[in-house]
Structure 1
Amino acid sequence: MTNYLRTAILLAALTALFMAIGYLIGGGKGAIIALLIAAATNLLAYWNSDRMVLSAYGAQEVDRSSAPELVELVAELAGRGGLPMPRVFVMDNPQPNAFATGRNPQNAAVAVTIGLMQILSREELAGVIAHELAHVKNRDTLLMTITATIAGAISMLAQFGMFFGGHRDNNAGPGVVASILMMIIAPLAAMLVQMAISRTREYAADNLGARIVGQPVWLASALVKIENAAQQIPNMDAEHNPATAHLFIVNPLSGHGMDNLFATHPSTESRIAALTQLAVQLGDDGGTMPWGHIDSDVSARGPWNRPSSSGGPWS
Structure 2
Amino acid sequence: MSVVKLRLSMFGTLAVIISLSTLFFTVVLSLFSSFSLISLAILVVCFNVFQWLISPYIIDAMYGVQEISEHEHPRLHETVENLSRKSGIKKPRLMLARIPIPNAFAYGSPIAGSRVAVTSGLLKRLENEEVEAVIGHELGHLKHKDVQVMMFVSILPALLYYIGFSIMLSSMYGRQRQESGGSALIGIVFMIFSWVLNIFILYLSRLREYYADRHGVSIVDDGSRKLSEGLAKIVHTTKNMRRTQKKTQNLNALKALFIADPDR
Q: CA deviation at 1:101?
A: 0.9
Q: Secondary structure at the match of 1:100?
A: strand
Cα distance, 1:162–1:169 mapped onto 2, change above 3 Å: closer
1:77 maps to 2:90: no
1:47 maps to 2:53: yes
**1:1-315 correspondence to structure 2 within 5 Å:** 1-13=7-19, 15-16=21-22, 19=25, 23=29, 26-29=32-35, 32-103=38-109, 107-165=113-171, 171-183=179-191, 185-214=192-221, 215-234=223-242, 235-239=248-252, 241=253, 244-252=254-262, 254=263, 256=264
Distance in 1 (CA, whole Å) between partners of 2:144 and 2:117 is 17
Show structure 1 runs of 5+ residues with no match. Answer: 257-315
Distance in 2 (CA, whole Å) between partners of 1:128 and 1:29 is 48
Q: CA deviation at 1:131?
A: 0.3
Distance in 1 (CA, whole Å) between partners of 2:73 and 2:124 is 14
Cα distance, 1:186–1:85 mapped onto 2, change above 3 Å: same
Cα distance, 1:117–1:26 mapped onto 2, change above 3 Å: farther
Give aligned-pair identity as a percent: 27
- Structure (1/2) with the larger helix percentage: 2
Cα distance, 1:77–1:18 mapped onto 2, change above 3 Å: farther
**What is the alpha-carbon root mean square deviation over aligned residues?**
3.1
Runs of 4 or more consecutive aligned structure 1 residues displaced over 6 Å after TM superposition:
166-170
Q: Under a length normalisation based on structure 2, what TM-score does the superposition of the two structures give?
A: 0.80
Show structure 2 runs of 5+ residues with no match. Answer: 1-6, 243-247
Q: Under a length normalisation based on structure 1, what TM-score does the superposition of the two structures give?
A: 0.68
Q: Secondary structure at the match of 2:95?
A: strand
Q: Deviations over 1:276-313 (max 9, x none)?
A: xxxxxxxxxxxxxxxxxxxxxxxxxxxxxxxxxxxxxx
Q: Secondary structure at the match of 2:259?
A: coil
Kept after mapping to 2: 8 A contact 1:127/1:213? yes
How many residues align? The count is 249
Kept after mapping to 2: 8 A contact 1:58/1:91? yes
Cα distance, 1:118–1:17 mapped onto 2, change above 3 Å: farther
Distance in 2 (CA, whole Å) between partners of 1:116 and 1:21 is 49
Cα distance, 1:157–1:138 mapped onto 2, change above 3 Å: same
